[in-house]
């Protein structure tokens, strides 16, 4: 058994070391003279060239501007500010925006003097009185701006009526008069959203608003109450 072990040791000693050429100095050296990468592979530069490059006395043919560990196993130098060019956003030519507008609204510029009949009110109006819509056949909505605003107001009023029935009316049974700060306890929305809903309820005639002074400073606040209570 001892004889076999000695033979194995002798064969290992007789094996030639693995050689590799350095990518910088082009010298053929043993693999032990090269640093390992993060993945465990042998790097392209020998340790001597890597140290020279890091010290700044020489630069290799290829410089990776990175602080992250890479081919030299974390031996990359910090990037030099002079070598790094700032990334500047290329200025888009003026024609491109015009072309983009023409692509989205192909009827733009060809609508001078044109008219269109609104599908809601039935009145013939200039084409500019209709909002743009790129998927429409003429590039404009079928309803005019006035009818679109009325439809939007109707939607907001219907939504306000629903909020009144679900939130405000049950709350007013225990709080005949309330402020926005008080109703936020049962209505978890922003003050601006609640104020818009309350103003629409006033338009519907469901609420009334009075201005009252509060506190020593006499701060004026809005107090709301349900109409008819």
* Structure confidence at residue 87 (pLDDT): 53
pLDDT, tens only, 182-219: 888 888 888 889 989 998 899 888 898 888 777 566 67
**Do residues 76 and 94 lie in contact, with contact meaning Cβ atoms separated by under 8 Å?**
no
How far apart CA 27 and CA 29 sit, in angstroms, is 6
Query: In this predicted model, which residue has the larger pLDDT, 71 or 149?
Result: 149
Q: Average pLDDT in the 119-133 region?
A: 87
Question: Which residues fall within 8 angstroms of residue 116, CB to CB, at 6 or more apart?
Answer: 124, 125, 126, 127, 129, 130, 138, 140
Q: Which domains, and CATH codes, for the chain?
A: 99-148 (3.30.60), 150-226 (1.10.10.10)
| Summary mean pLDDT of the chain | 74
State yes or no: pLDDT of 106 exceeds 60: no
**Number of CB atoms found within 10 A of residue 158's CB:** 11
pLDDT, tens only, 5-45: 455 445 544 555 688 888 888 888 888 888 888 788 888 88
* Structure confidence at residue 15 (pLDDT): 52
Q: Which of 30, 32, 78, 31 is nearest to 53 (CA)?
A: 78
Query: In this predicted model, which residue has the larger pLDDT, 120 or 81?
Result: 120
State yes or no: pLDDT of 4 exceeds 60: no
How far apart CA 211 and CA 229 sit, in angstroms, is 18
| Strand intervals (E) in 1-99 | 19-21, 28-30
Helix (H, G, I), strand (E, B) or coil at 163: helix
User: CA 106 from chain center: how many Å?
Assistant: 29
State yes or no: pLDDT of 71 exceeds 70: no
Based on its alpha-carbon atoms, the radius of gyration of the chain, rounded to whole angstroms, reads 39
Q: What is the pTM of this model?
A: 0.45
Query: In this predicted model, which residue has the larger pLDDT, 213 or 63?
Result: 213
Query: In this predicted model, which residue has the larger pLDDT, 99 or 150?
Result: 150
How far apart CA 94 and CA 173 sit, in angstroms, is 62
The CB-based long-range contact list for 197-200 (8 Å cut-off, 24+ gap) reads: 197/159, 197/160, 197/163, 198/168, 198/224, 200/156, 200/157, 200/159, 200/160
State yes or no: pLDDT of 98 exceeds 60: no
Calculate helix-pair angle for 191-203, 145-163, nearest 10 degrees: 100
Query: In this predicted model, which residue has the larger pLDDT, 73 or 123?
Result: 123
pLDDT, tens only, 146-172: 999 999 888 988 999 999 999 998 998
């Amino acid at each position: 058994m001892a004889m076999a072990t000695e033979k194995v040791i002798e064969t290992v000693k007789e094996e030639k070391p693995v050689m590799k050429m350095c990518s910088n100095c082009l010298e053929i050296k043993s693999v032990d003279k090269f640093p390992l990468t993060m993945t465990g592979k042998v790097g392209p530069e020998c340790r001597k060239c890597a140290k020279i490059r890091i010290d700044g006395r020489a630069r290799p043919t290829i410089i990776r501007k990175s602080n992250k560990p890479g081919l030299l196993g974390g031996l990359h130098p910090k990037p030099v500010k002079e070598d790094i060019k700032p990334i500047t956003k290329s200025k888009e030519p003026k024609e491109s925006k015009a072309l983009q507008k023409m692509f989205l609204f192909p009827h733009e510029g060809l609508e001078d003097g044109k008219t269109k009949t609104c599908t809601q009110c039935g009145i013939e109006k200039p084409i500019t009185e209709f909002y743009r819509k790129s998927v429409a056949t003429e590039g404009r909505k079928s309803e005019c701006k006035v009818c679109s605003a009325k439809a939007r107001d109707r939607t907001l009023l219907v939504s306000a009526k629903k909020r009144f029935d679900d939130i405000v009316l049950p709350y007013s049974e225990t709080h005949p008069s309330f402020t926005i700060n008080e109703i936020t306890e049962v209505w978890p929305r922003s003050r601006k959203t609640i104020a818009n809903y309350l103003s629409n309820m006033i338009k519907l005639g469901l609420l009334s608003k009075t201005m009252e002074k509060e506190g020593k400073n006499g701060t004026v606040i809005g107090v709301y109450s349900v109409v008819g209570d």
